[in-house]
Amino acid sequence: MLLKFAIDYIAFPQHNKRVFTHQTDDPIEAEDFLMHLLAARVRITEIRHNGAAMSGHEFDHMLKVAAERIASQLLRESLALDAPQVKERFGFAA
């Protein structure tokens, strides 16, 4: 059985080129993992969905959603705002 999402990444791109793969069936968990990779400055090499590499637009969309969730979380914590305030003031979904 193919897992729904597979994310290939290089954990320490400045030190080695070993590619790791994270696999999951849950799209929300995939977004959470992408958030973690972005925050850790890990090199993301490929995202696959149902065994096929995502197109550039789909790949970019998943990364954009993860980046927006990080930005929203940082704004909520740094400015002591709640989710509706972040949405109203900055346009980021909670």
User: To the nearest whole number, what is the mean pLDDT of the chain?
Assistant: 92
Could you tell me what percent of the chain has a pLDDT over 70?
A: 96
- Residue 6 in contact with residue 48, Cβ under 8 Å? yes
Query: What confidence tens digit (pLDDT) does each residue in 12-32 have?
Result: 888 888 999 999 999 999 999
5 vs 23: CA distance, rounded Å: 6
The list of the chain residues with pLDDT below 70 reads 1-3, 94
The radius of gyration computed from the CA coordinates of the chain, to the nearest angstrom, equals 15
- Alpha-carbon torsion, ordered 10, 11, 17, 23, to 10 deg: -40
User: pTM of this prediction?
Assistant: 0.87
Q: What's the total number of domains in the chain?
A: 1
Structural domain including 77 reads: 5-90
pLDDT value for 94: 62
